[in-house]
């Protein structure tokens, strides 16, 4: 069973990461999907996305939940019927789920060189401390995208912009943590972010997760 890693940041929170090695057929046979979930997975054009979707349901089972325990709100944010908080992600051959008594966000990203081409679309302030000549430039770009994606999932507010509203302070990859801010509608929110990088089949992936112990500050002009 390809449960790749389990992380317990605190007594109320668990992260589980799945390495997707199974076929679509195997993953489909081992889960019981709600009609709406079945329709969704059958409509997916990519088998990679189908396997990611189904592997998340296997992760739910690792937590003791079924697909029927999961639902989504009008903004697409996942929820559990028992009231616990959940965040979900999958990227290429990895998926991850975080469940907590606190509001959470999680993301997994594969490191790819082409992220430098779109960096200007999600980075503003961070260019002040990034250097294209640095050997970890691509790795840091990937980490920043991953951090902002996990923030977006946690904050889940339409109109939130990675570039305009989210910023990540200078960090070192080896520290496996950083601080990020959301500056949105006259308030600033400070978050502590944890991340890890890992390799599989000569490819590097990042997983970032945030547990909502945020601090809000009203902006004074």
Structure tokens at 109: 């990203």
pLDDT at 201: 65
Which residues partner with 198 through β-bridges? 205
Angle among Cα 122, 128, 131 to the nearest 5 degrees reads: 90
Provide CATH code, domain 3-102: 3.90.470.20
Burial of 170 (0-12, 13-18, 19+ CB in 10 A): exposed
pLDDT at 134: 96
Q: Which contiguous run of DSSP H or E holds residue 105?
A: strand 104-110
pLDDT at 220: 44
CB of 197 closer than 8 Å to CB of 146: no
pLDDT at 199: 81
First CA to last CA distance, the chain = 55
Kindly list the domain boundaries of the chain, sorted by start residue: 3-102, 107-218
Q: Does domain 107-218 have CATH number 3.90.470?
A: yes
Per residue in 142-189, pLDDT (tens digit) is: 999 999 999 999 998 889 999 999 999 999 999 999 999 999 988 899
- Give the Cβ contact number of residue 53 at 10 Å: 21
Sign of CA dihedral 44, 47, 53, 57: positive
Distance between CA 66 and CA 16 in Å, rounded? 15
* Mutual angle of helices 35-43 and 47-63, in 10-degree steps: 150
Distance between CA 192 and CA 169 in Å, rounded? 11
Q: Which residue has the tokens 């570039």?
A: 163
| 10-residue mean pLDDT series, the chain (221 residues) | 89 95 95 95 96 97 97 94 97 95 95 96 97 96 96 92 96 94 91 89 84 57 50
Asked, colleague to colleague, whether 3-102 and 107-218 share their fold, the answer is: yes
pTM of the model: 0.91
């Amino acid at each position: 069973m390809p449960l790749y890693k389990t992380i317990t940041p605190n007594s109320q929170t668990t992260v589980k990461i799945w390495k997707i090695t199974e076929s679509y057929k195997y993953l489909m046979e081992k889960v019981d999907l709600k009609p709406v979930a079945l329709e969704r997975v059958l409509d997916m054009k990519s088998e990679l996305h189908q396997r990611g979707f189904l592997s998340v349901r296997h992760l739910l089972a690792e937590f003791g939940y079924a697909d029927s325990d999961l639902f989504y709100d009008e903004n697409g944010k996942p929820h559990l019927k028992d009231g616990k908080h959940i965040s979900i992600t999958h990227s290429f051959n990895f998926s991850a789920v975080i469940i907590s008594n606190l509001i959470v966000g999680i993301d997994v990203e594969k490191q790819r060189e082409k992220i430098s081409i779109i960096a200007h679309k999600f980075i503003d302030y961070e260019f002040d401390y990034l250097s294209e000549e640095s050997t970890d430039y691509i790795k840091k770009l990937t980490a920043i995208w991953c951090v902002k994606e996990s923030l977006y999932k946690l904050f889940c507010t339409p109109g939130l912009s990675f570039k305009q509203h989210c910023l990540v302070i200078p960090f070192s990859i080896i520290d496996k943590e950083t601080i990020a801010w959301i500056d949105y509608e006259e308030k600033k929110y400070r978050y502590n972010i944890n991340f890890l990088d890992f390799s599989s089949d000569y490819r590097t992936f990042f997983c970032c997760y945030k547990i909502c112990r945020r601090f809000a500050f009203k902006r004074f002009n």
